[in-house]
Amino acid sequence: MIYKELSARKTIALVAHDHKKDDLLRWVNKHRNLLKNHDLIATGTTGKLVEQSLNLSVQKLLSGPLGGDQQIGALIAESKIDVLIFFWDPMEAQPHDPDVKALLRVGIVWNIPMACDVATADFIMSSPFMQNTYKAELTDYDAYKNRKL
């Protein structure tokens, strides 16, 4: 079995669609005291809003529709993101829906904790694993990577 050890200080990616930004801002303010112990990374507009709201440093990537979702997906694949909090809007079609689906897929492929709603995000933040090291089990993709083409 393959494992990835997550340190007590996690890198948390924050993403929110336009109609979910207020929900995310309320959530980050509720968890400010926990979030300040972790590294935050976000897509463009979301990152600016979170940084202003919390007065904490946030690494900001491109806006989601301009490639920010894909940037976060790449960071997950490189084991540079430990947790994804992605408040997406299920009631509104997004021009970058394929990117959204790809981001969720890569999070599952690399077995990172993901929350797409407030309740799940609350559960993740309240987990003792969030404040301690955690040994995440990874799927062994060697057979796939070494397949004959």
What residues are annotated to the active site? 69
CA distance 86 to 15: 5
Residue type, 6: L
Q: How many CB atoms lie within 10 A of CB 45?
A: 16
CA distance 95 to 62: 15
51-56: long-range contacts at Cβ-Cβ below 8 A with a sequence spacing of 24 or more? 53/25, 53/28, 53/29, 54/28, 54/29, 56/32
Tokens of 100: 């959204």
Strands (E), 43-145: 59-60, 83-87, 114-115, 134-138
